[in-house]
């Protein structure tokens, strides 16, 4: 039960973070469309790092 609540909290946090990353990346791309490739790569890396953190927390709590 408690770990389900924990998992929910993790997903909320991770979702918020991913939204931030994606949103800011979109803004960046809209501002400088010629840098889209670089922004995308950086975005994927940061998203992957965040994902690692979230999965780590989920698995530790399981």
Partner 1 sequence: METLINDFSPGLFAVQTILLLLLIFLMVKFAWKPILGSITEREEGIQDALDAAEKAKREMANLQADNERLLQEARLERETMIKEARELKTKMIAEAEADAQAQAHKMIEQAQAAIEGEKKAAMAELKTHVAGLSLEIAEKVVRKELSNKDKQLELVETMLGEATLN
Partner 2 sequence: MKIFQQSFKFFALIVLVFLSTTIYAYSSNEDGGEIDTREEVDAYISHHLQDSHDFALFSYTNDEGERKHFGFPLPVILWSSNGLVTFMSSEFHHNDDGDVIVEKNGSKFAKIHSKIYELEAGAEAVDFDEEHHATNAARVLDFSITKSVVGILVIGLLMFFWFVRLAKQYKKKQIPTGFGRVLEPLVLYVRDEISRPNIGEKHYRKFTGYLLTVFFFIWLLNMVGLTPLGFNVTGQIAVTASLAIFTLIIYAFSGNKDFWMHILWMPGVPILIRPILAVIELVGTFIIKPFSLLVRLFANITAGHTVIMALIAIMFVMKDTLGVAGATGLSFILSVLIMFIEVLVAFLQAYIFTMLSALFIGMAVAEHDHGHDVEHETADVEDVRGDFI
Q: Which of 4, 25, 13, 23 has the alpha carbon at shortest distance from 50?
A: 13
**Quick one: what does residue 35 bind among partner 1, partner 2, none, with the CB cut-off 5 to 8 Å set by partner type?**
none
Q: Please, what is the minimum distance in Å from the beta carbon of residue 41 to partner 2?
A: 8
58 binds partner 2 (CB under 8 A): yes
Site string (2-41) toward partner 2, x via CB under 8 A = ---------------------------------------x
**CA-to-CA separations, 6 to 16, 19, 21, 26, 46, in angstroms, rounded:** 15, 20, 22, 30, 23
């Amino acid at each position: 039960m408690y770990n389900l609540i924990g998992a929910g909290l993790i997903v909320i946090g991770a979702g918020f973070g991913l939204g931030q990353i994606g949103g800011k990346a979109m803004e960046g791309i809209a501002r400088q469309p010629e840098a889209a490739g670089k922004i995308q790569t950086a975005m994927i890396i940061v998203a992957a790092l965040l994902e690692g953190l979230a999965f780590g927390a989920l698995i530790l709590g399981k």
